[in-house]
Structures are given as C-alpha cells and as structure tokens.
Amino acid sequence: MQVLVLKGISKQFQNEQTHFQALSDISCDINKGEIVCLMGPSGCGKSTVLRILSGLESADTGTICGSEGNVFDPVHTAMVFQEHGLFPWLSVYDNIAYGLRMKVRKIPNEQITQKVKELLTLVHMEEFANALPHQLSGGMKQRVAVARALAIEPEILLMDEPFSALDPFSRRELQDEVIRIRDVLGTTFFIVTHNPEEAVYLGDRILILSKRPSCVIKEIQIPCKRP
C-alpha cells in the first residue's frame, strides 16, 4: 500500500534578483513499511524534499498524496536530524514526552507515562530516563531522538543524515534499530544519506537525485537481504 506519492514536485528559492531551482520535477512513491534511502550530490535538493514532506517548506508545483489518494498531510510525519536536536535542559523522559504533552493532543497523563515507558524500552534507554542529553553518547542521543519522533505515531519517519555524526559502531547499531522498528511497528522510513554502503544495508529501495535538473534519475530495488 502506498503511503506517499509525489508527482512533479518543483521548488524555487528566490533571492534578491535571482531565483534558484532547487527541485525541478520530483516524482516517486513510497509504500507502507518501506525503508527508502534518498541519495544524490550535495545541493541536489534532498533536504528540501524532506522539508516539504514535513511541512517546513511548501512545493511550488506538483502533488503529494498520502494513502488512498488523499492529499498528504505533514502531520503524519516526524523528522530526525543529523544532530539529534534534543532539548538540552530536559531529561530523556521529558524529551520523549514533550510532543505528547502538547495540550492540543489532550492525552491523559497515565497514557503519556505508559507511552514514554514503551518508547524507552523500544530504543533500549529505560535506564537513562532521568539522564540529561549531555550525559549520553552520540548514538544514545540519536536513539532518544528516534523515540521522541515516534511518540506522535507518525506514518513516515523522515531522517536527514541521521547517522553521519556517529562512530561506525553506533552507526550500525542505530541502523539495526531502524530496521527493527520498521519490523515491529511497521513505520515507513524516508532517509537521506550520503553513504552508499549504508543505503544498501538499510534500504529496501534507493532513490538517486541528479542536481541539474533536480529529479529522480535512478531507482534501485535492493534484493531482500533479511529472512
């Protein structure tokens, strides 16, 4: 089942006198529970694609549909950045609970407590609930960032080079975590990476963007590598 269908997405950035075509004609579709890696040269528009999907930017032209052909709503996404972006003054627990506590969600306290506990277990951070971000390693911080993103139960988790600030060991650990979360929760992942080895290890499919014009030039289906 498709959860995301992009057709002919373009985006220009205007400066004083000039305009810059950041995306020319992006079309792709993503299925539920798929891990799709987005690659391409620096400046080809990968982050812009994620920012449009997360609602931080709007596209100039094109359509984005969600499941069953409905107009896609960025509320179904959550974003994880290269540098975790945790609130430094909040504990691991409070970082994860942050989105759930927003008044508009009207989630009862007991439910929030239960949900945060589940997420702490999911990313193996139960013992660090009361730790502050600066007490954690890079890999642990990214796991908390993933838990925080998952708290709002997004259909699609958008990740912008989530592993590139990590050492090779933590990187592989977090990659395995992503695969496990997909297997357990059925979350769809759209991940920007510069690393081909990582894309092949992690991805079910790799999309490659060209720079001028910025469009999808190649789709590589990765043969199933896990039983």
Question: Which position among 112, 131, 179, 216 is part of the footprint of ligand ADP (CB under 6 A)?
Answer: 131
Q: Binder to ligand ADP among 10, 170, 187, 193 (CB under 6 A)?
A: 170
Per rule CB under 6 A, is residue 27 in the interface with ligand ADP? no
Assess 42 for contact with ligand ADP (CB under 6 A).
Answer: yes
Question: d(Cα 66, Cα 154) in Å, to the nearest integer?
Answer: 13
Residue 71 is encoded by which pair of tokens?
Answer: 């107009």
Q: Look up residue 36 and give its amino acid.
A: V
Q: Is 48 in the site for ligand ADP (CB under 6 A)?
A: yes
- Residue 22 touching ligand ADP (CB under 6 A): yes
Among 3, 10, 30, 46, binds ligand ADP (CB under 6 A): 46
Residue from 12, 27, 43, 124 that binds ligand ADP (CB under 6 A)? 43
Instruction: Please name the residue that has the structure tokens 């081909």.
Output: 196
Task: Take residue 196 and report the two structure tokens written for it.
Answer: 């081909």
Per rule CB under 6 A, is residue 66 in the interface with ligand ADP?
no
Kindly tell me which residue out of 4, 30, 80, 136 binds ligand ADP, with binding defined by CB under 6 A: 136
CA-based R_g, the chain, Å: 18
Q: Smaller CB distance to ligand ADP: residue 46 or 182? A: 46
Of 17 and 70, nearer to ligand ADP (C-beta) is 17
* 13 forms part of the interface with ligand ADP (CB under 6 A): yes
Task: Provide φ and ψ at 50, rounded to 5°.
Answer: -65, -40
Selected range binding ligand ADP among 38-46, 98-106, 109-117, 150-158, rule: CB under 6 A? 38-46
**What is the distance between the alpha carbons of residues 97 and 207, in angstroms, rounded to a whole number?**
33
**Quick one: the chain helix, strand, coil %, rounded to 5?**
35, 30, 35
Which residue, 184, 191, 186, is CA-closest to 122? Answer: 184
Nearest to 193 by CA among 165, 153, 218: 165
Binding mask 87-126 for ligand ADP (x = CB under 6 A): ----------------------------------------
> What does the chain come to in residues?
227
